[in-house]
């Protein structure tokens, strides 16, 4: 690509916003052109406005940028920017993202507010890139120059990536119990006195997302609508004292008998030809050790964009298997997922 496309980040000072800034630094296709945040951060340099919590240093170019109020992105299309990556709080994201799309931006959103709308693609590129065709429907329906594309909830991404290779066996039911890292709640999301030496068996709205989003993602695009996948998901979500990396215990029932070897082979052969900077070579990595995957050992697989699976074994019934999955929640499950979506949209011609 001869010239980089300039992009902006909405909600740049929060935990996912910081991850966007980190991952966009040195990106071969995209150049960070603007940072947007709330009024209390506007006018400050990014170094002054953001309480940087990532282990890497704040990118120098971003550190010296002046943070703009979100309204600057909303008012009119900035001719320099083509893509806005959204990490806005849900309370303001719905209106802001719509106004930005109406103004002409491609909004690649990590926020949940638009995910289940009929004409908004909810995309994992290795799973359902064809759903991006809804972009044209969305533009027609809403008379927008731009559009909104969303990536799923962080736990949903781990689950759906693992389920995609198993669809050939005829899934009828999925049960999942999550062990989710504290970074998924944001910088100040879980007080240390609440999570240390503890497990919190409730994450607001998380189970609803995990039970609905995979059905849309793994569904079939029929004309201008998606027909949901024909199985059920039952989720129980828990916060655990891990910094990064969501782990999931997954039980899957199939229409007929399926053995461990067939499932392992399905995971091994699951590959895509996305060929973009953030696309992992192996979306799902099989871990053969009996005590893997683990967040400490596996969250950075594929630069944080691969999901690891292991402990594949027969369940109580001949048509049931269970396994463990693990993925990096703020890279694969958040900022990295939005960036990968944008790469694929650019490659497919949705972004000029």
**What residues are annotated to the active site?**
154, 246
Report DSSP letters for 110-171, one per residue: --STTTTSTTS-B--TTT-GGGGGHHHHHHHHHT-SSEEEE---HHHHHHHHHHGGGGGG-E
Which of 128, 110, 327 lies closest to 215, judged by CA?
128
Residue 81 near residue 105, CB atoms below 8 Å:
yes
3-class DSSP string for 29-87: CEEEEEEEECCCCCCCEHHHHCCCCCCCCCCHHHHCCECEEHHHHHHCCCCCEEEEEEC
Across-strand partners of 84?
A: 8, 107
- Cβ-based neighbours of 76, under 8 Å, separated by 6 or more: 103
Which of 287, 289, 268 lies closest to 327, judged by CA?
287
Residue 7 near residue 84, CB atoms below 8 Å:
yes
d(CA 66, CA 274): 34
d(CA 246, CA 328): 6
């Amino acid at each position: 690509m001869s010239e980089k496309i300039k992009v902006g980040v909405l909600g740049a000072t929060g935990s996912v916003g910081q991850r966007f800034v980190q991952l966009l630094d040195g990106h071969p296709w995209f150049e960070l052109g603007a940072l947007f945040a709330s009024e209390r951060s506007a006018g400050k340099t990014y170094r002054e406005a953001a309480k940087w919590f990532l282990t890497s240093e704040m990118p120098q170019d971003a550190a010296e940028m002046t943070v703009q109020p979100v309204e600057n992105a909303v008012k009119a299309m900035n001719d320099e920017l083509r893509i806005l990556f959204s990490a806005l709080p849900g309370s303001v994201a719905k209106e802001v993202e719509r106004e930005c799309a109406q103004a002409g931006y491609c909004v690649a959103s990590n926020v949940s507010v638009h995910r289940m709308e009929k004409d908004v693609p909810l995309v994992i590129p290795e799973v359902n890139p064809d759903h991006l065709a809804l972009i044209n429907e969305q533009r027609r329906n809403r008379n927008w120059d731009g559009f909104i594309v969303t990536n799923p909830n962080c736990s949903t991404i781990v689950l759906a990536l693992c389920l995609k290779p198993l669809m050939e066996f005829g899934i009828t039911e999925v049960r999942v119990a999550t062990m989710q890292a504290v970074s998924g709640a944001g910088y100040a999301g879980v007080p240390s006195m609440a999570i240390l030496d503890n497990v919190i068996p409730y994450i607001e709205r998380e189970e609803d997302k995990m039970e609905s989003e995979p059905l849309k993602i793994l569904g079939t695009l029929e004309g201008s609508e998606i027909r949901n996948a024909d199985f059920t998901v039952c989720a129980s979500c828990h916060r655990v004292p891990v910094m990064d990396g969501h782990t999931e215990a997954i039980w899957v029932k199939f229409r007929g008998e399926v053995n461990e070897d067939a499932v392992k082979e399905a995971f091994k052969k699951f590959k895509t030809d996305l060929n973009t900077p953030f696309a992992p070579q192996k979306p799902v990595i099989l871990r053969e050790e009996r005590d893997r995957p683990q967040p400490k050992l596996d969250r950075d697989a594929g630069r944080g964009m691969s999901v690891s699976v292991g402990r594949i074994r027969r369940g109580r019934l001949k048509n049931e298997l269970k396994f463990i999955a693990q993925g990096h929640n703020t890279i694969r499950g958040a900022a990295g997922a939005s960036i990968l979506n944008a790469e694929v949209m650019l490659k497919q011609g949705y972004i000029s």
